[in-house]
């Protein structure tokens, strides 16, 4: 059980445990006042829960293809103070979109599987959580492009090599890169992740940098500020 300030997250049966990628995406993704949100591959449900805390007027759908993770996420939603605004769908995103063709979203987020054509992790559940074939991101981007509202945005967190592929796919499918945030462990390190924001409007891309540690085991003030409403250590 991982306890946040306003909710708790049971991680039972989830191959992907709560990690820095997820909590950063949950704290950073979105802006303004999105009323309809979709979390693709919700895992434990932590990103959806963080978005529910941040955007108090939003209804949030979350999809999860792994059956046990979906059960855990649904329980986490039910035990949260935001339970009336969170809905879990135990499906992959493609089946979900087929089942609900009329749904559109102001904000779509995902911390997706990100290893492409790499050595598979031991264990089927971890493979499902971490690995994607090359066509996965093409299917994801095409689906997202069709389900965003006109002013809606899609936010993803990805390794830097995978983000190159996704940027290209987005541009091929009518989505414009609106913001990039390079995630660095230390200020002089190369970025190991990128948070990308896409939308239908062709705006000037904002490029930013986010550093996690000021020194080993010491978080930067920016990290502490970003997560102070969520993590009990701050």
Q: What DSSP string describes 69-83?
A: HHHHHHHHHHTSTTG
CA atoms within 13 A on the CB side of 100: 14
- Average pLDDT score, the chain: 92
Q: What is the pLDDT of residues 119-143, one digit of tens each?
A: 344 444 444 334 456 688 999 999 9
Lowest mean pLDDT among 17-26, 123-132, 147-156, 220-229: 123-132
Token pair of 209, please? 């940098």
Write the pLDDT tens digit of every residue in 149-162: 999 999 999 999 89
| pLDDT at residue 116 in the model | 43
- Tell me what the mean pLDDT of segment 54-61 comes to: 98
- Residue 50: pLDDT over 90: yes
- Residue 3 is encoded by which pair of tokens? 């306890």
Q: 6-20, 46-60, 117-131, 170-184: lowest mean pLDDT where?
A: 117-131
Write down the domain spans for the chain.
2-227
Give the pLDDT confidence score for residue 166 in this predicted structure. Answer: 94
Q: What is the CATH number assigned to the segment(s) 2-227?
A: 3.40.50.150
Secondary structure of residue 163 in the 3-state scheme: helix
User: Which region among 12-26, 48-62, 75-89, 97-111 has the lowest average model confidence (pLDDT)?
Assistant: 12-26
Higher local confidence (pLDDT), 26 or 120: 26
Q: pLDDT band for 114, please (50, 70, 90 cuts).
A: low
Q: Using alpha carbons, select from 156, 75, 82, 147 the residue that is nearest to residue 112.
A: 156
Q: Work out the end-to-end distance of the chain between its first and last CA atoms, rounded to an integer number of angstroms.
A: 18
pLDDT above 70 covers what percent of the chain? Answer: 91
pLDDT at 124 (0 to 100): 43
Question: How far is 77 from 88, CA to CA, in rounded Å?
Answer: 8
Are residues 60 and 39 in contact, defined by beta-carbon separation less than 8 angstroms? Answer: yes
Q: What confidence tens digit (pLDDT) does each residue in 171-217 have? A: 999 999 999 999 999 999 999 999 999 999 999 999 999 999 999 99
| C-beta separation of 190 from 213 below 8 A | no
Residue 157, judged by CB atoms within 10 A of its CB (0-12, 13-18, 19+), counts as buried
pLDDT at 113: 73
């Amino acid at each position: 059980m991982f306890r946040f300030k306003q909710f708790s997250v049971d991680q039972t049966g989830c191959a992907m445990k709560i990690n820095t990628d997820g909590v950063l995406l949950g704290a950073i993704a979105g802006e303004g006042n999105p009323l309809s949100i979709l979390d693709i591959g919700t895992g434990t449900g932590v990103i959806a829960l963080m978005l529910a805390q941040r955007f108090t007027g939003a209804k949030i759908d979350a999809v999860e293809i792994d059956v046990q993770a979906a059960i855990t996420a649904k329980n986490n939603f039910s035990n949260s103070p935001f339970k009336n605004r969170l809905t879990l769908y135990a499906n992959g995103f493609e089946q979900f979109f087929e089942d609900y063709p009329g749904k559109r979203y102001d904000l779509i987020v995902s911390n997706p599987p990100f290893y492409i054509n790499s050595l598979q992790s031991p264990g089927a559940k971890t493979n499902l959580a971490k690995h994607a074939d090359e066509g996965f991101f093409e299917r994801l981007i095409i689906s997202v492009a069709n389900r965003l509202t006109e002013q809606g945005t899609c936010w993803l967190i990805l390794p830097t090599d995978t983000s190159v592929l996704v940027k290209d796919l987005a541009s091929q499918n009518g989505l414009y890169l609106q913001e990039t945030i390079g995630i660095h462990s230390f200020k002089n390190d190369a970025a190991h992740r990128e948070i990308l924001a896409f939308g239908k409007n062709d705006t000037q891309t904002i490029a930013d940098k986010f550093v996690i540690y000021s020194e080993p085991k010491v978080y930067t003030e920016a990290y502490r500020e970003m997560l102070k409403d969520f993590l009990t250590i701050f």
